[in-house]
Amino acid sequence: MRSDANLTAERPTYVTNLECSATGEHYPADTLQQLSQAGKPLLVRYDLARIGRELSRDAIESRPSDMWRWRELLPVRRKEDIVSLGEIETPLIPIPRSGGANVLVKDEGRLPTGSFKARGLVMAVSMAKALGVKRIAMPTNGNAGAALAAYASRCGIETVILCPEDTPEANVREIALQGGRVWRVNGLIDECGAIVAEGTRQGRWFDLSTLKEPYRIEGKKTMGLELALQLGWKLPDAIFYPTGGGTGLIGMWKAFDELEALGWIGSERPKMFAVQAAGCAPIVKAFDEGTDHAERWENAHTVAAGIRVPKALGDFLILKAVRESGGAALAVEDEATLQAVADAAGQDGLLLCPEGGATLAAYREALADGLVGVDDEVVLFNCATGLKYPMPPVENDLDRHQPIDFDAL
């Protein structure tokens, strides 16, 4: 049985190669890579047969409950290359009043920098450090940039981060405070990405955009690994995931395949629901039209900035997972999203971010349309702490020098 030694220089991980997600072509894992020759994301592959022989579920359960308990299924070869800020296992929180008796929220806002972007960025930055990267650039709608700035600053990598000009102010300021050179751009995230891509072509930096390197998926897949363990090695009936670039949905689908190959779960899969905003729903449109790729969504707008992604590089992988699972891609109106945020906070005491609110709104619609049943075990992903986002104003004032109307209180 393996121990912490597998993260030392003498004991590598079980990574075998990288693989093009479209063609299956193999690439070496120990050199810096971006997209495949086909222009598609690369996936990390492992010697799962060997892991299955040398590791057990019991061994995983006996370890500290953080992201690194899954080290054999992660790509970092040397312990000293891990750039950690304390990536905990996030809790599953019931919301019986606003959601239902069988609805759980996986609250990713408990992670470093307050969002699930920490999962992907700790892995990507750790591997960038291991492979000698000195400067990174990335477009962001907010939380990914904050995570990149934090992890990169911790290990001395420079960052240049471009965000749409209406990115939440809390995100812009935390990026800057954590050492990122952040610039507001008069455009959407894919237009920020075009600037990053041009700088990459000029050799100015390494491009850490969503799915343009192999390792953010590996960090995000730990959401699926954790779910399986937390639910007693049985997956839920349905997962509702806020989908912009879709790295986490792709990663979880990969995690489930790896767990089945290890013999730790069966072949059953949750229905995967890709949740988007009605004002930016390219995956929903492609799903409804039966296509494998999504057209760019023009004039994208939504209160849920994290899912305002007009064009996703991994669209075909998102759609494949949704269709194979028997799930769906759903779009929700901003009004329903904000109502769901208010309901979860006021009825169950859980402050969701707008993207998390969108998953609750989508669940309600799916329940009404018969896509899920009231007895189904459902997991919603709250991707960030709601404290980063604007909240409704409170205008109740009390003058202590005047008679107090206690009935009014």
User: Among 304, 273, 314, 330, which residue's Cα sits nearest to residue 390?
Assistant: 304
What pLDDT, on a 0 to 100 scale, did the predictor assign at position 13?
Answer: 78
Whether residues 102 and 244 share a domain: the answer is yes
Whether residues 239 and 355 share a domain: the answer is yes
Whether residues 274 and 244 share a domain: the answer is yes
| Contact (Cβ atoms closer than 8 angstroms) between residue 278 and residue 310 | no
Whether residues 186 and 303 share a domain: the answer is no
Residue 41 lies in a domain: yes
- CATH number for the domain that contains residue 145: 3.40.50.1100
CA-CA distance, 36 to 21, in Å (whole number)?
Answer: 8
Residue 399 lies in a domain: no
Whether residues 257 and 193 share a domain: the answer is no
CA end-to-end distance (rounded Å), the chain: 62
What pLDDT, on a 0 to 100 scale, did the predictor assign at position 11?
Answer: 45
Q: Which of 185, 207, 229 is the last residue of a domain?
A: 207
3-state secondary structure of 127: helix
CA-CA distance, 367 to 99, in Å (whole number)?
Answer: 10
Average pLDDT per block of 10 residues along the chain, 409 residues long: 38 85 95 96 97 96 96 95 97 98 98 97 97 97 96 98 94 96 96 96 96 97 98 98 97 98 98 98 98 96 95 96 98 98 98 98 98 98 95 91 93
Q: How many structural domains are present in the chain?
A: 3
How long a stretch of residues is the chain?
Answer: 409
Whether residues 38 and 176 share a domain: the answer is no
What pLDDT, on a 0 to 100 scale, did the predictor assign at position 405?
Answer: 92
Indicate the pTM of the whole model. 0.94
Q: What is the DSSP string of 270-332?
A: PEEEEEEETTB-HHHHHHHHT-SS-PPPTT---S-GGG--S--TTHHHHHHHHHHHT-EEEEE
What pLDDT, on a 0 to 100 scale, did the predictor assign at position 216?
Answer: 97
What pLDDT, on a 0 to 100 scale, did the predictor assign at position 291?
Answer: 97
**Phi, psi of 16, deg, nearest 5:** -105, -40
Residue 196 lies in a domain: yes
CA-CA distance, 28 to 16, in Å (whole number)?
Answer: 8
What pLDDT, on a 0 to 100 scale, did the predictor assign at position 315?
Answer: 97
Whether residues 376 and 275 share a domain: the answer is yes
Residue 287 lies in a domain: yes
User: Among 231, 253, 248, which residue's Cα sits nearest to residue 324?
Assistant: 253
Q: Which domain holds residue 161?
A: 117-207
Q: What angle do CA 54, 256, 331 make, to 5 degrees?
A: 160
Q: Which of 207, 242, 268 is the last residue of a domain?
A: 207
Greatest C-alpha distance within the chain:
77
User: Among 172, 175, 143, which residue's Cα sits nearest to residue 159?
Assistant: 175
| Contact (Cβ atoms closer than 8 angstroms) between residue 274 and residue 249 | yes
What pLDDT, on a 0 to 100 scale, did the predictor assign at position 2?
Answer: 35
